[in-house]
């Protein structure tokens, strides 16, 4: 079945860049997503990338996709204390919403002062 | 524009009871998806509704069911509750037709089964 893997924790210093990595197994993944979850809250969509793209940049966020290795990463530039959260990688086979998202277990981003 | 709302936010039930959770999507969104989030299993897809029809279902027992109304609001029902059903239940809405599956999540309903 489909599987999405992420490391559980990442610790970075405030002001440094954070790089959160994700691998997936489903070669038919069409869209890949990054979500953020703060304590006690639902998930917030940060960004997504279409499978025929290599990179997408949105302000402090850069998404890199290596489709051959099925590897996705999220880089957060100039990490701030407000970035402390759990980050989830997710994939879907198709657009349109009919198929549910398959999520990784999430990476806890810890910011050191 | 109002976000996705879920009611109630917290719920405590006992084993064997049944429960109904409600979700109101963002105005104009016709797709509603439900997810279960637990520390052990993470986020798992339950089902998705579009225009009152279930289009897809995850790997959950038949005790988990849902429906969608003509105004796109959705409910999910869990019958004969088990301790393992304790979880955060998240609802997400999207336009649901073509393009990326940009789902917007509600704050969730925290269900505790005693």
pLDDT, tens digit (0-9, with 9 covering 90-100), for A12-67: 999 999 999 999 988 777 889 999 999 888 899 999 998 888 999 999 999 999 99
Cα Rg, chain B, nearest whole Å = 13
Q: Which pLDDT belongs to residue A11? A: 97
Rounded CA separation B44/B42 (Å): 6
pLDDT at A95: 56
pLDDT band at B7 (very low <50, low <70, confident <90, very high): very high
Confidence check: pLDDT of A113 > 80 = yes
Q: Is the pLDDT of residue B91 over 80?
A: yes
Per-residue confidence (pLDDT) for residue B88, from 0 to 100: 96
Q: Which residues contact residue B71 at a Cβ distance below 8 angstroms, ignoring those fewer than 6 apart?
A: none
**Which chain B residues are closer than 8 Å to A92 by Cβ?**
100-101
Angstroms from A100 CA to nearest CA on chain B: 6
pLDDT of residue A26: 82
Between CA B5 and CA B9 the distance in angstroms is 9
Note the pLDDT tens digit of each residue in A64-103.
Answer: 999 999 999 999 999 999 999 999 999 987 655 567 889 9
Question: What pLDDT is recorded for position B2?
Answer: 80
- Whether chain A has a CB inside 8 Å of the CB on B68: the answer is no
CA angle B1-A96-A100, nearest 5°?
95
Q: Is A55 on the interface with B (CB under 8 A)?
A: no
Which pLDDT belongs to residue A96? Answer: 53
Residue of B76 and B97 predicted with greater confidence:
B76
- Spatial separation of the C-alpha atoms in residues A37 and B107, rounded to whole Å: 10
* Across B14-23, B46-55, B92-101, least confident range: B92-101
The C-alpha atoms of residue A85 and residue A44 are separated, in whole angstroms, by: 11
Residue B1's pLDDT is 65
The string of DSSP codes covering A11-77 is: EEETTS-EEEEEEE--TT--EEEEEEE-TT--EEEEEEEETT-SEEEETTEEEEEETTTTEEEEEES
What share of chain B has pLDDT > 90, as a percent?
Answer: 87
Question: In this prediction, what percent of chain B has a pLDDT beyond 70?
Answer: 96
pLDDT, tens digit, 9 for 90 and up, residues B69-83: 999 999 999 999 999
- pLDDT band at residue B25, thresholds of 50, 70 and 90? very high
Give B-chain residues touching A35 at CB under 8 angstroms. 105
């Amino acid at each position: 079945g489909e599987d999405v893997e992420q490391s559980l924790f990442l610790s970075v210093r405030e002001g440094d860049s954070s790089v959160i990595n994700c691998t997936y197994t489903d070669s038919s993944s069409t869209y890949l997503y990054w979500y953020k979850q703060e304590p006690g809250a639902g998930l917030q969509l940060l960004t997504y990338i279409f499978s025929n793209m290599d990179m997408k940049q949105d302000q402090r966020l850069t998404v890199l996709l290596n489709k051959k290795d099925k590897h996705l990463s999220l880089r957060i530039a100039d990490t701030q204390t407000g970035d402390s959260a759990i980050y989830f990688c997710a994939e879907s086979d198709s657009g349109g919403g009919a198929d549910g998202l398959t999520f990784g277990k999430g990476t806890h981003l810890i910011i050191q002062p | 524009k109002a976000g996705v709302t879920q009611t109630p936010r917290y719920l405590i039930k006992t084993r064997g009871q049944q429960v109904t959770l409600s979700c109101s999507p963002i105005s104009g969104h016709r797709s509603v998806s439900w997810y279960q989030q637990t520390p052990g299993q993470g986020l798992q897809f339950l089902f998705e509704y579009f225009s009152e029809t279930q289009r897809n279902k995850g790997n959950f027992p038949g005790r988990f069911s849902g429906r969608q109304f003509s105004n796109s609001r959705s409910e999910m029902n869990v019958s004969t509750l088990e301790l393992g059903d304790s979880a955060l239940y998240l609802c997400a809405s999207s336009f649901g037709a073509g393009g990326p599956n940009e789902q917007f999540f509600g704050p969730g309903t925290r269900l505790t089964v005693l």
